[in-house]
Amino acid sequence: MTEVDQAASAGPRLKAAGPGGRFGRLGEVRHLGLVAALVLLAIVGLVTKPENFATSSNLVSILALASTIGVITVGMTFVIIGGGIDLSVGALMALASVWATTLATQSYGPVVMIVCAVLVGTGAGLLNGILIAYGRMVPFIATLAMMVAGRGLAQRMSNQRTQLVQQDNSMIVSLSTTRVLGLPLLVYVFALVVLLGWLLLNRTTFGRRTYAVGGNPEAARLAGIDVRKHTLMLYALSGLCCGIAAVLIMARTTTGSSTHGDLYELDAIAAVIIGGTLLSGGRGTIIGAILGLLIFTVITNLFILNGLNTADQLIAKGAIIVAAVLLQRRSLKTPT
Amino acid sequence: MDKNVARRGFLAGGAALGAGALISACTSNEPAATQQASASAAAPAAKEGNDAPGEKVVIGFSAPAADHGWIAAISKNAADAAKQYTDVEFKPVEPTNDINQQISAVESLIQAKVNVLVILPNDGQQLNQVARQAMDAGIPVVNVDRIFPDKLSYRAWIGGDNYGMGVAAGHHIGKTLKDKGVSNPVILEIQGIATLPLTQDRSKGFADALKTYGFTVAAQQDAKFTVESGTQVATNLLQAHKKIDAIWNHDDDQGIGVLAAIKEAGRNEFLMVGGAGSANAMRDIQADSGVLKATVTYPPTMAASAIKIARLIAQGKGMSDLLEQQVPQSITLASETITKDNAAQYLPLGFES
């Protein structure tokens, strides 16, 4: 562990990425920018729709909407910090949801369904990892293949139909309908995943190694890290998150469907990038990614509250991605 | 007299065909063998008049990928209809949502020199050219649902009435609210894919019908025809409007997600009308347990009818219910409103989403 620490402080890029360092805190400068953006959006909400925006039920809605994709975003943050990318997340979520609800139609209970969803997600993630770490495939290509094939498999399994979560599996649906302290259970699942993700990234050797592997794989290898095994674990982790997200989408929509998670991969990647994670790896935070995601969710909410259409919403999202990345360039002062 | 017998045969055939189509539409999860059995069991009843075996015809068929309940029912109904006839060879091509691929697939059917083509295009405008090629090559085209803009591109068109769906939904909501004496109601609309002409037609019909009651649509959002998007959009819409009088959701597939969001929010002060007529929606309406009080149909049985029409065209026959010697050029199906009162009657026609 101390060796890793030394390795991590060896290169200039790794130096800044120490666990619990300035990239792990909410108060970090770039996070303040994101928080400011959220505050700005909140003000827009308060001004345009005072009677709707700041209500507790609206805030609950925003959190519930953010939960599914938020869980995926946590996994994506690990993969991108580790120098990779996972394009298959949306498809894996669909696949896991379909697989689980297929079991439901054969009258298996909710526990089996949840375990199935998580196992399918993790298994597919492992396969991504094997292709990338041991098959030496470029992550973009390997996960692209998984994205296409995963969706196809989901369509095949579901016979391209929407599969309802049966009433006797209400335990899954209750994740969305049961409220504790005013928040649906799935928001707690989301919060737990974020917390565990944060701890894993900032307080463990695994997290330290993730930064090292993403920052400079060669240095990481010389420092004694099994880079391949670590890469494998990162994709498995992302797949696990997809499995959990599948359970949440089943809870929210009461269905499993091969159309679930359409374009989630792009939303998750955008959130991670807006959150200040470098696409080249080695740097980034969970908190930033979640803030980035919340910004997206709040924008969608504001647009619908004000009765504006989807097209304008997409333009706004695009503009925000560009603005966020331009701002980060300046604050990072990276030599080009 | 002769004519009458022929006509009766046609009707019986139609009934048998319809029954076959619905049985299969409702049993999608069962093994294929069961479906075949039910289809062939229905067939012997239909051997008179236009349904009597005639000259052998090869029917080429192309439709979008069945990632949606309604489209899935379309392909299934077409295949089942073709199975009813010993004189029909059914040649479907791989369904796809990629326009480019669908064009190639239709081209391959033209190359294979099928007798007649049945095409449900992903987009009528974009597939117009290749349909025209088929017509120019002497292969009549039966255009299903999404219409080709160029009349030279098809011999016959059969499809639903998107504008009529909007009108039916608008009248149901308008009349219900008027009867309740509601003034200035908040009426919302959750569309499918906003960029499709069919969506715009539905919305136009809805607005026009509501206008006759002096009502307007307060807000409109699109939900891409998917369950997940239906949940997302509905969740936000419910926040935007603290009091709602009615919602028209264009599509029963995405409606599952919309209803999940409504349940999650614990709202029930409004009525909701669905679209397309899925079996799930009809069962919900029949149970009368939630906000869903009606749905307006967009029958997927049109694909079975299209196969029937294609066969008649290829064999040079007319439709024996009409006096015409040939199949009509255009058939617009009616959009009907299904409520608690008539749900039982329509349930067999519903498709599982």
Paired tokens of B322: 């009409």
Averaged pLDDT of chain A: 86
Residue B181 CB burial class (10 angstroms; 0-12, 13-18, ≥19): exposed
Contact at CB, A57 and B239, closer than 8 angstroms = yes
**Which residues of A are less than 8 Å from B232 in CB distance?**
65, 300
Nearest to B258 by CA among B285, B291, B297, B289: B291
CB contact under 8 A, B236 and A61: yes
**3-state SS class at B156:** strand
Angle between helix A310-332 and helix A286-305 axes, rounded to 10 deg: 150
pLDDT category at A168 given cuts 50, 70, 90 is low
User: In this complex, do B239 and A258 lie within 8 Å of one another by their Cβ atoms?
Assistant: no
Q: What is the 3-state secondary structure (H, E, C) of A36-59?
A: HHHHHHHHHHHHHCHHHHCCHHHH
The CATH class given to the B162-296 domain equals: alpha beta
Question: Is there a contact between A262 and B228 if contact means CB atoms under 8 Å apart?
Answer: yes
Residue A107: pLDDT above 80?
no
Q: How many CB atoms lie within 10 A of CB A150?
A: 28
**Can you name the residues that pair with A119 across neighbouring β-strands?**
none
Q: How close, in Å, is residue B244 to chain A by CA atoms?
A: 14
How large is the average pLDDT for residues A239-259? Answer: 92
pLDDT grade for A29, boundaries at 50, 70 and 90: low
- Which chain B residues touch A261 with a CB distance below 8 Å? 228
Tell if the CB–CB gap between A161 and B28 is shorter than 8 Å.
Answer: yes
Q: Taking Cα atoms as reference points, which of A310, A54, A64, A279 lies closest to residue A178? A: A64
The residues spanned by each domain of chain A are 3-333
Terminal Cα-to-Cα distance of chain A (whole angstroms): 33
What is the mean predicted confidence (pLDDT) over A64-91? 96
User: Which residues are within 8 A (CB) of A94 and not within 5 positions of it... i.e. 6 or more apart?
Assistant: A150, A151, A154, A246, A257, A258, A259, A260, A261, A262
For residue B5, the model assigns a pLDDT of: 46
Residue B52 has pLDDT above 60, yes or no: yes
Q: What's the pTM value of the predicted model, to 2 decimals?
A: 0.79
Residue A331's pLDDT is 60
Q: Residue B248 forms beta bridges with which residues?
A: B189, B273
Candidates B218, B227, B240; nearest CB to A162: B227
**Same-fold call for B57-154+300-333 versus B162-296:** yes
Between CA B146 and CA B124 the distance in angstroms is 5
DSSP for A110-166 reads HHHHHHHHHHHHHHHHHHHHIIIIIS---HHHHHHHHHHHHHHHHHHHHTTS-EEPP
- Maximal CA-CA distance, chain A: 59
**CATH label, A3-333, candidates 1.10.10, 1.10.3470, 3.40.50, 2.40.128:** 1.10.3470
In this prediction, residues A44-58 reach a mean pLDDT of: 89
Residue A23 has pLDDT above 80, yes or no: no
Classify the complex by whether its ipTM is higher than 0.90, answering yes or no.
Answer: no
Q: What angle do CA A250, A253, A259 make, to 5 degrees?
A: 80
CB B173 within 8 A of CB B218: no
- The highest-level CATH class for domain B57-154+300-333 is alpha beta
Hey, where are the domains in chain B? 57-154+300-333, 162-296
